[in-house]
Amino acid sequence: MSIDRHLRIVLPLAAVVALAACQPQAPQAPAVPPTELLAVDTPPPGYPEELACDNVGGQVVLQLTVGADGKPSSVEVFRSSGIAPLDKAAQEGVRGWVFKPATRAGVAQITKLQVPVNFRPPQVRPQSCFVLDEQRRRGG
């Protein structure tokens, strides 16, 4: 095959390949950045009235598993306050919390976290405590 004939075949092919390489590529979908778990509605758990009136407080540390729906699917005592009614009140209160779930690549994720719940007796004794005192005094 002559060089002239070879160039007539190879050059157009090379031009097609070169032009194809210059064509804009389809843009890649932008990466969705991950997001962290975000508390949306986390009111403090109810304080057992008798314990508040008796000036009993403590801290409970809970281990939560927050589902992809943003609701706690598991609420376990990680570290007890040593006072069972406080531990129970903390668990019951936290079960109703709502979160915006963490995401990875735009997909909601299950997240585990530890949450301290503090119960501090009120500085000013609630009026209801005096009623409770009277009921106790009368044996009721």
What is the homologous superfamily of the domain 38-137 according to CATH? TonB (3.30.2420.10)
What Cα–Cα distance (Å) separates residue 24 from each residue in 17, 19, 31, 40? 14, 10, 20, 44
Q: Indicate the pTM of the whole model.
A: 0.73
Name the strand (E) or helix (H) holding 84. helix 84-94
* Per-residue pLDDT tens digits for 47-79: 999 999 999 999 999 999 999 999 999 999 999
* Per-residue pLDDT tens digits for 72-130: 999 999 999 999 999 999 999 999 999 999 999 999 999 999 999 999 998 888 888 88
A 10 A CB-CB count for 117 gives 20
Distance CA 84, CA 70 (A): 27
User: 43 phi and psi, to 5 degrees?
Assistant: -70, 150
- What does the domain layout of the chain look like in residue ranges? 38-137
